[in-house]
Structure 1
Amino acid sequence: MKRLLILIAVAAGLWSGYWVWGAQALKSDIANWFDTRRAEGWVADYADLSVAGFPNRLDTTLDAPSLADPGTGWAWQAPFFQILRLSYDADHRIAVWPDRQMVSTPHNKYDLTSADMRASIITGGTDAELERATLVADTVLIVRHGAEGGTAMTALNLAIKAQPDAPATYRVSLTADDLAPPAQTRRLIAPQEVLPHRFDALTADMTVTLTRPLDRRTLEQDRPQPTRIDIGKARAQWGDMVLEAAGTLQIDDLGRADGRVTLRARKWRDILRASTRAGAVPSAVADQIENALELLTAMAGNPRMLDIPLEFSGGRVYVGPVPVGTAPQFRLP
């Protein structure tokens, strides 16, 4: 019995030493990461850094973290941020955000609130290459800083999974439940019509190939950029308006897309007019586009349902030979 007690005491001492060493190494790694970002010109600060969870966890809490990358114009700050993991499993982490945070883009600042936002992240290899991640957020509200009203949703789910048979390729699934655009957006899109406050459905399922894998360098260096996007299916339903999309785009070094995306739309005239009012379709060509679509749907035998390919080329979007606008740039900031 005495030997057993001695053995238990030695084992407990060794484990305690291992935990203390792991906690100190983790704090040092995080502090060095912030120091490196500051040396690169970032704003990278926090009020306090602590590690808890003895004996089986290494749970890190950053108080009042603040990050700003002057190269991209993006910034983030929050009252706290947590990274939770088991002390014997460094490849699986849980990230926890507070119920309020602020995100700045090159154009605006946004206040983001949520009842619960967290992500499960599994990585592997020496560069912590992403294998899969799932982000879940409840009762989300995004408001432009200083403005009234905002975009709300009851739940946001984002899943990313690396494809083992294709380098730097990821399956991405997104679902936003009960997405409610700001009231001013509804008035802009449909000033004479009554639209529901919330989308009935907003989902996307796609596969994205990047210039390099998502790993620890993604924040530390320039972001990997998409080279191919395969849209399995994207669907948005807002009242009677339904829009679905599927197709493949090849992305060049400047973020310009070449390829084809097939649109299927119900009440497509309302969608076209709403897009014109929102500025997504130039008003100068809106009538020309509507006339062309009228002809195409009539030839297809169903004038109420639109089923056409959009061609992406040279930074423009075309319906047949008719340019309908400038294509978005597909680049990660």
Structure 2
Amino acid sequence: MRFLLAAIVVAALGWFGYWFIGQHSLQTAFSSWLDARRIEGWVAETSDLRIQGFPNRFDIGFSDLMLADPETGLAWQAPFFQILMLSYRPNHAIAVWPEEQLIATPVEKYRVQSNDMRASLVIAPDTRLAPERGTLTAEFLRITPAGRPDDTTALSALTLAAERQEGTRYRLGLSAEGLTLSPQWRARLDPQDRLPGQISGLHADLDVTFDKPWDRTAIEQSRPQPTAIRLSLADAKWGQLHLQAAGAVTVTDEGFPEGEITLKARNWRDMLELATASGALPQSLAQTLESGLSLIAQMNGNPQTLDVPLTFRNGRTLLGPIPLGPAPVLRLR
């Protein structure tokens, strides 16, 4: 009996010591990380860094957190941010965002609001902190440019998922429901107000290979850059418009895609008309494009559905045989 009691006491003291050593290590690690960013010229401030949760959790809480990278012009500000971990499984973290936060880019500042934004993240158990898999979810997400409170873009639900496959290849998934465009974007994309108020669904499944793994250096040094993209399926529905895409491209050192994405567009003439009315497609090119695509659609047997390759080659973009202009640059800031 005395031996059992002694064993329990020793185990309790051992766990007590483990938790406080872990708490001190985490406190030191996060404080040192913020100090290192400030030395590099960042703004990296928090009014309080507190770790609680004894005995089975490490609940890390930041108050009045602000991070700003002068090289990219990106900044993030939040009244609080939490990282929650089980003390016996510290490589699995739950991140919790506040209902309102501020994100600044070199172009504009945005207020981001959500009812429940959180992420589950499993990290490799080493000092590089490379994510192995993660899922971010948000409900009733609203994004508003600073100074324009009536120009909000909203989502009913958002899910982003990522899983490391092998080497530097990652599988990514996106699901967005109930996308309501801001009045500015709505007027630009649908000036005649012919489509429903919401884009009912947007889904994507793809694999992306980067030039280096995503780990702590992605924040501290430079972002990994894509070298190859395989799109299994992207699917978007907006009223009677339905667009699907699949294919694969490689990415050059300059960031230009090289390869082919097959597009399947239902009611494609309406899409073309919207692109022309919004100014995204020059009127001078619209007639040529419609004539060429009409021939392709008729050859496929259904004039209302277009099945055509979107080709990226030598820094240019072609839709079927028709040149559209320069290819996009796929570089992460």
Shorter-chain TM-score: which interval? over 0.9
Query: What residue in structure 2 maps to residue 267 of structure 1?
Result: 267
Q: Distance in 1 between matches of 2:102 and 2:210?
A: 28
1:12 deviation in Å?
1.8
Q: Distance in 2 between matches of 1:311 and 1:7?
A: 69
Q: Distance in 1 between matches of 2:25 and 2:125?
A: 18
Q: Distance in 2 between matches of 1:65 and 1:283?
A: 48
Q: 2:157 aligns with which of 152, 155, 158?
A: 155
Q: Which runs of 5+ in 1 are unaligned?
A: none
Q: Distance in 2 between matches of 1:203 and 1:37?
A: 36
Query: What residue in structure 1 maps to residue 178 of structure 2?
Result: 178
- Write the letter of the residue equivalent to 1:304: Q
Three-state SS of the structure 1 residue aligned to 2:136 is: strand
- Write the letter of the residue equivalent to 1:138: E
Q: Does 1:284 align with 2:260?
A: no
String of CA shifts for 1:168-206, please: whole Å, max 9, x gaps. Answer: 101111000111111232222222242111112110010
1:8-157 superposed matches below 5 A: 8-126=8-126, 127-147=128-148, 148-157=150-159
Q: Which runs of 5+ in 2 are unaligned?
A: none
1:281 deviation in Å?
2.8
- Write the letter of the residue equivalent to 1:160: A
Contact 1:83 1:95 in 2 (8 A): yes
Contact 2:111 2:144 in 1 (8 A): yes
What is the total number of aligned residue pairs between the two structures? 331
Three-state SS of the structure 2 residue aligned to 1:177 is: strand
Kindly report structure 1 stretches of 4+ aligned residues shifted beyond 4 Å.
none
Q: Distance in 2 between matches of 1:228 and 1:280?
A: 27
1:149 deviation in Å?
2.8
Query: What residue in structure 2 maps to residue 319 of structure 1?
Result: 319
String of CA shifts for 1:10-68, please: whole Å, max 9, x gaps. Answer: 32222212211111110110010011111111111111000000001111000011111
TM-score by length of 2: 0.95
1:125 deviation in Å?
4.1
1:3 deviation in Å?
4.1
Three-state SS of the structure 2 residue aligned to 1:230 is: strand
Contact 1:282 1:325 in 2 (8 A): no
Query: What residue in structure 2 maps to residue 230 of structure 1?
Result: 230
Three-state SS of the structure 2 residue aligned to 1:93 is: strand
Greater Cα shift, 267-276 or 38-47: 267-276
TM-score by length of 1: 0.95
1:288 deviation in Å?
1.6
- Write the letter of the residue equivalent to 1:200: S
Contact 1:263 1:307 in 2 (8 A): yes
- Write the letter of the residue equivalent to 1:11: A
Contact 2:191 2:277 in 1 (8 A): no
1:130 deviation in Å?
1.7
Q: Distance in 2 between matches of 1:21 and 1:282?
A: 64
Which protein has the bigger strand share?
A: 2
Query: What residue in structure 2 maps to residue 246 of structure 1?
Result: 246
Three-state SS of the structure 2 residue aligned to 1:200 is: strand
Q: Distance in 2 between matches of 1:234 and 1:192?
A: 26
Q: Distance in 2 between matches of 1:308 and 1:149?
A: 35
String of CA shifts for 1:116-140, please: whole Å, max 9, x gaps. Answer: 0111101114222221101111110
RMSD between superposed Cα atoms in Å: 1.4
- Write the letter of the residue equivalent to 1:266: R
String of CA shifts for 1:225-248, please: whole Å, max 9, x gaps. Answer: 100000000011000011111110
Contact 1:108 1:144 in 2 (8 A): yes
- Write the letter of the residue equivalent to 1:42: W
String of CA shifts for 1:301-323, please: whole Å, max 9, x gaps. Answer: 21111110011123321123422
Q: Distance in 2 between matches of 1:68 and 1:109?
A: 12
